[in-house]
Amino acid sequence: MLTNQGFKLLITLFILSIVSSTVSVNQPLTLSIFVVTFFALVYFYFAVEDIRRVRANDFGFSRKLSKTLPKAGEKFEVVVNVVNLAGRKLRVMVLDNVGSLNVVSGSSVAEGYLGHGEAIAVRYVLLAGERGLYRLGPVSVRVSDDYGLVCRYITLEEEYRLVVASAGSEKPRLSDAVKKVEPTLFTGSGSSYQQGVDDVFRELTLYEEGQPLKSIDWRRTARENGEIYVRKYDKLNLLKVLFLVDCSRANQLGKPSILDSSLSAVSAAALSMLEKGDVVSVATVGSSKPELHSAYGMKDYEGLVKFLSAVSPGKSYDLFEYVKELGAYHVVFMVGRFVGVDGPTLRKVFEHFRRGGGILFTLIPMTDEKNRIETALNELEKQRAESLKQYCSYVYAVKQNELLPHLIHLHKTMRMTA
Amino acid sequence: MIDKALRLTALFPPVLITAVALSRIDMSNPFVLVGMFSLIFISATDRFKWAGVVLVYVPAIYTVYLLLTGTVSPFLGLAAGYIISTPYVLAISAYRSPNVAGLITGYYTSYLFALLLYGAVAGGNIQPERLFLTLIRNLLGIASLERVNMTPATPEPSAIYNSLTAVATFSLLACFAALEAAKPRINTAFIKSLLAVVAVLPFIVFASDFSPAASSFLLLGSLVSLLAFLAVRMRWRM
């Protein structure tokens, strides 16, 4: 195809050809214009034919992100490298599509003459304002002729899907677990996992590559001649934890929204639980695509974060109908406003999980009070939580930024009693 | 540097024709020179721009004042100066154009105005007032149906001007290679196109000598056919 400059030239020459052969005929000038126009047209043809021979596999391509799972509000660098493998010099412009992400610095476009084996890099820093699924790319290369008159666009990749996690998906701190919260039935003394009640010794085996060094039994190893032994433990008090997150539009209240705070807290709490060997499932009720996602170990955590990052509010729902399809769990955390859930429904949900041997905690997040409306709304939420307690004991109205400490604390107490 | 040399070569014919025409004009009215140089200063470089603006406004206001008091000659002289500087102004803009399209447009329009100016002077209109009115009439004649061809013949001796035009044409082609680069890049497509032009040129010259009246339409027809062929072929192959 013609570039802007090529197109301008073609139009100019065409107009001049018409003028010089109709209203203003001067033989030398007309011939001159004809020669230039003829030359340009033939040049366009040969240049296009030349560029047409360039293929997508004539370029090597790599994309590197400084963070594979960036968090909302976090800057990350993107470096796209394109190498010319065509065996000849090419004039190229590399264009990367950043979609709805914001370019903080650098440019997503780079241009240059590349000899065989030479590379050009597009380097820029991006920022995603909110969690979610973003599209990056595809990277396209504009190959043009030496004079910039004709060009061809070659797409080098499919769209890259980038998951931006919630800003709060971080490892919970120790202080989160010791934060004082409202006492529950499960607070108080219990087994101390610091003494090793979490893990019970199972067997002693030979060391295999990749096993953690901390599992080596140094005493036994010292007794053996060159053999390294490791101790294996069973986790006896594994919990099956379910987070039932209300993702309906009513949770878009506040800044950050209650939904974002809930998802951040769930994400961080899930990390803590998975590290302790629990199985964590997250059900997103009221989302655009209600789904149940389970993580069985740390290896599944990234998938869980991606799942949570892509959640978007959807339609209303019938909680009990949804819960009926779910299996048995040891602990169920209902996180969200659950505005459509009344006392009897909550009771039914509670009974459902209780029959499976589980316990249900309901955490209703309240917004940070920034104005009188939010103060009034929080007051109403507190009263609602109190009224729901008549049907199910463990209902808490908590500040949205205190969700994580509550979840961690409740989980800790549950593990102690498990 | 090479690019500038090529551009100067390409613009030499209109500059020369204008210079020949100017050498015959009666310059006794100083306002002709004032009008001419003020426009050239404005378009020449950024350094002269403010001086050029002063040179334009001050004489313009003064000549309008004289016109209103009944002295017409300075006003017409200044206007004639503006008009006769047009080929140079266009040549300067073509020289400074960042792309080939601008260069070719400037080349053509500068050449055309130079021919119009030369034609008017060759017709005996050497007084600035008469020259101004004749050029205006010629320019307005483009819109009238009575005149088919507005461009006069090439100045005599035509062989020199024709040769210069041929050299200018090849300089224009060479400007393609010097586009957007410090030194010219001559690629395969450029050489192939140049060879195609050289191959076609004898036929064109023969056709235009054989039938000057029909040649322009023949050329236009061939260009349209070539363009259509290329459009279809490129569409089919891409």
**Candidates B115, B188, B208; nearest CB to A31:** B208
Amino acid at A384: R
CA distance B30 to A107: 56
CA distance A107 to A109: 5
Distance in Å, alpha carbon of A49 to nearest chain B alpha carbon: 8
Q: What is the DSSP letter of A145?
A: -
pLDDT tens-place string over residues A65-92: 888 778 888 888 999 888 888 888 888 8
Sole residue written with tokens 């677990």:
A177
Residues B158, B162, B167: CA angle, nearest 5 degrees? 150
The dihedral through the CA atoms of A197, A202, A203, A205 has a sign that is negative
Mean residue pLDDT across chain B: 79
- Chain A, nearest residue to B207 by Cα: A31
Are B14 and B87 in contact, with CB atoms under 8 Å apart?
Answer: yes
Q: Calculate mean pLDDT across residues B127-153.
A: 68
Q: Give whichever of A179-188, A189-198, A199-208 has the largest mean pLDDT.
A: A199-208
Is A193's pLDDT higher than 50?
no
pLDDT-derived band at A197 (thresholds 50, 70, 90) equals very low
Is A375's pLDDT higher than 50?
yes
Q: What is the DSSP letter of B192?
A: H
Asked if the Cβ–Cβ distance from B162 to A28 is below 8 Å, we say: yes
- Chain A, nearest residue to B114 by Cα: A29
Which residues contact residue A347 at a Cβ distance below 8 angstroms, ignoring those fewer than 6 apart?
Answer: A391, A392
Is A62's pLDDT higher than 50?
yes
Are A131 and A263 in contact, with CB atoms under 8 Å apart?
Answer: yes
Of the listed ranges A114-128, A173-187, A354-368, B140-154, the least confidently predicted one is: A173-187
SS3 B97: coil
CA distance A14 to A36: 10
Q: What is the DSSP letter of A40?
A: H
Tokens standing for residue A362: 């309901």
Distance in Å, alpha carbon of A116 to nearest chain B alpha carbon: 16
Is B220's pLDDT higher than 80?
no
pLDDT tens-place string over residues A242-259: 999 998 888 888 878 888
Amino acid at A172: P
DSSP string, A32-58: HHHHHHHHHHHHHHHHHHHHHT--GGG
Mean residue pLDDT across chain A: 82
Are B118 and B17 in contact, with CB atoms under 8 Å apart?
Answer: yes
- Chain A, nearest residue to B179 by Cα: A147
Is B198's pLDDT higher than 70?
yes
Q: What is the DSSP letter of B27?
A: -
* 3-state class percentages of chain A: helix first, strand second, coil last, to nearest 5: 35, 30, 35
Q: Phi, psi at residue B185, to the nearest 5°?
A: -110, 115
**Candidates B108, B168, B189; nearest CB to A43:** B189
pLDDT for the residue numbered A190: 37
Is A191's pLDDT higher than 50?
no
**B88-91, long-range: CB < 8 A, 24+ apart:** B88/B15, B88/B18, B88/B36, B88/B40, B89/B39, B89/B40, B89/B43, B90/B14, B91/B11, B91/B14, B91/B15
- DSSP strands (E only) in A211-274: 229-235, 240-246
CA distance B178 to B169: 15
Residues of chain B contacting A11 with CB distance shorter than 8 Å: 101
Distance in Å, alpha carbon of A6 to nearest chain B alpha carbon: 8
**Candidates B154, B168, B227; nearest CB to A41:** B227
Considering the entire predicted model, what is its pTM? 0.63
CA distances for B110 relative to B39, B85, B219, angstroms: 14, 10, 22
Q: Phi, psi at residue A201, to the nearest 5°?
A: -60, 135
CA distance B232 to A40: 17
Of the listed ranges A318-322, B136-140, B168-172, the least confidently predicted one is: B136-140
* Residue A174 or B166, more confident: B166
Asked casually if ipTM beats, i.e. exceeds, 0.90, the reply is no
- Chain A, nearest residue to B217 by Cα: A21
pLDDT-derived band at A183 (thresholds 50, 70, 90) equals very low
pLDDT for the residue numbered B142: 59
Q: Alpha helices of B123-211 — where are they, by DSSP H?
A: 128-140, 158-177, 188-210
Q: Which of A289, A285, A245, A290 is nearest to A263 (CA)?
A: A245
Are A245 and A285 in contact, with CB atoms under 8 Å apart?
Answer: yes
Asked if the Cβ–Cβ distance from B226 to A38 is below 8 Å, we say: yes
Asked if the Cβ–Cβ distance from B111 to A46 is below 8 Å, we say: no
Q: What is the DSSP letter of A368?
A: -
Rg of the Cα trace of chain A? 32
Size of the A and B interface in Cβ pairs below 8 Å: 160
Distance in Å, alpha carbon of B184 to nearest chain A alpha carbon: 10
Q: Phi, psi at residue A229, to the nearest 5°?
A: -115, 145
**Candidates B99, B152, B227; nearest CB to A8:** B99
CA distances for B125 relative to B16, B41, B121, angstroms: 19, 26, 5
pLDDT for the residue numbered A242: 93
List the single best residue of B219, B224, B229, B237 to mutate versus A (max A Cβ within 10 A). B219
Residue A334: how many other CB atoms lie within 10 Å? 27
Q: What is the DSSP letter of A314?
A: -
Rg of the Cα trace of chain B? 21
* Residue A15 or B152, more confident: A15
CA distance A72 to A163: 10
Distance in Å, alpha carbon of A19 to nearest chain B alpha carbon: 10
pLDDT for the residue numbered A182: 46
CA distance B73 to B67: 8
**Candidates B111, B193, B238; nearest CB to A52:** B238
pLDDT-derived band at B153 (thresholds 50, 70, 90) equals low
